[in-house]
Amino acid sequence: MTRAPLPVRDGLGPDRLRMPADLGATTILEFLTTHHPGEDWNGRVASGEVVDEHGRVIGPDTGYQPTRFVYFYREPAPEIPVPFDIDVLHHADGLVVVDKPHFLATIPRGTHIRETVVVRLRRDLGLPDLVPVHRLDRMTAGVLLCTSDPGLRRPYQELFERQRVRKTYEAVAPYLDDVEFPRVIRSRIRKVHGELTASQEPGEPNSETLIELVERRGGLARYRLFPRTGRTHQLRLHLDSLGAPIVGDNFYPQLRRRERDDFTDPLRLLARALEFDDPLTGETRRFESRRVLEY
């Protein structure tokens, strides 16, 4: 990927716009003000805050450059702060492993920009190149592996893509007295882009989870889950299919809207541990969450 000509600022990288080949604009400023209204382009250009793909400052009279890019910083809309800290478990050798709290998104997306793991860590640790090599849902807490060296991204991403990472999760859900554990659940999961929830449907399974019962506490129980695949909402769907939806789940079995400032009743799902053979050294590494699921 081509490196942006502007640095990360306050944890956020610059935005960019491509200049189409079929426009009759004379200058870049004309293109910006005409085709992307609603921004103070005159002020940004006058302040030298818009550059081309080579990092050259755009002026009021800079000629239009079809098919090229312009870069600039965009201030995101205000967000409600997530009132939980990120716990750093490991920071060395280009790796940053963190214990992500519930309610904090992993990457900037949609309405969650600054209140994300990536932006917080880039800003707080001074690591502009930090990226996660896998994802955790916003509502899921636990171990998240990141790299701060661009040269390390691919080797660690491939561990997850090739399913060479041994993942352990924990969940709190209703106790099932009529189900025998351990139990392997296999199903076909379908997730439609743009829809909040996924579903299970007939057909060849594309997901698999081993579920163990750890302990019972009244009408609830703590389960240990070992996913062999990584489908969207896989663990939530597999427990729900047994009749044990995870406590605090606002997606399954029924979609429940939550106010943006409601940080109570988190999803009781935790990425407890990651274990893998390091792609560079061959050393077995294991990182474990310090968080405890409440119930």
Centre a 10 Å sphere on the Cβ of residue 76 and count the other Cβ atoms it contains. 13
Give me the number of domains the chain comprises. 2
* Token pair recorded at residue 9: 């600022």
Rounded to whole angstroms, what are the CA distances from 228 to 17, 117, 191, 275? 40, 25, 18, 13
Do 165 and 131 fall within a single domain?
Answer: yes
Residues 111 and 47 reside in one and the same domain = no
What pLDDT does residue 3 have?
84
Same domain, 99 and 22: no
49, 72, 95: which is the final residue of a domain?
72
- pTM equals 0.92
Task: Specify if 77 maps to a domain.
Answer: no
On whether residue 10 sits in a domain, the answer given is no
Distance from C-alpha of 282 to C-alpha of 133, rounded to nearest angstrom: 18
46 with 169, same domain: the answer is no
187 and 42 part of one domain: no
Residue 131 and residue 23 share a domain: no
Dihedral of the CA atoms 34, 40, 44, 49 (nearest 10)? -90
- pLDDT digits 0-9 by tens, 38-67: 999 999 999 999 999 999 999 999 999 999
d(CA 225, CA 39): 48
Q: Decide if 294 is inside a domain.
A: no
- Residue 167 φ/ψ, nearest 5 degrees: -105, 140
pLDDT in tens, 235-259: 999 999 999 999 999 999 999 988 9
* Phi, psi at 127, each rounded to 5°: -120, 85
Please check whether residue 1 lies inside any domain of the structure: no
Q: Which of 72, 96, 115 is the last residue of a domain?
A: 72
Residue 215 belongs to domain spanning: 87-288
Contacts with 269 (C-beta within 8 Å, 6 or more apart), sequence order? 139, 140, 141, 169, 170, 171, 235, 236, 246, 249, 293
User: What pLDDT does 1 receive?
Assistant: 57
Say yes or no: 255 and 154 in one domain.
yes
Domain of residue 159, CATH code:
3.30.2350.10
> Domain check: are 229 and 97 in the same one?
yes
Strands 269-277 and 141-147: parallel
Residues 99 and 49 in one domain: no
Alpha carbons 80 and 163: distance in angstroms, whole number: 35
In this prediction, the residues of the chain whose per-residue pLDDT falls under 50 are none
Is the residue at 144 inside a domain? yes
Residue 215 lies in a domain: yes
Residue 9 falls inside a structural domain:
no
111 lies in the same domain as 216: yes
Between the two ends of the chain, the Cα-to-Cα distance in Å is 45
Decide if 188 is inside a domain.
Answer: yes
DSSP string, 121-159: HHHHHT-TT-EESS---TT-EEEEEEESSGGGHHHHHHH
156/211 same-domain check: yes
Residues 140 and 271 placed together within one structural domain of the fold: yes
Among the listed residues 201, 204, 198, 194, the one whose alpha carbon sits nearest the alpha carbon of residue 235? 198
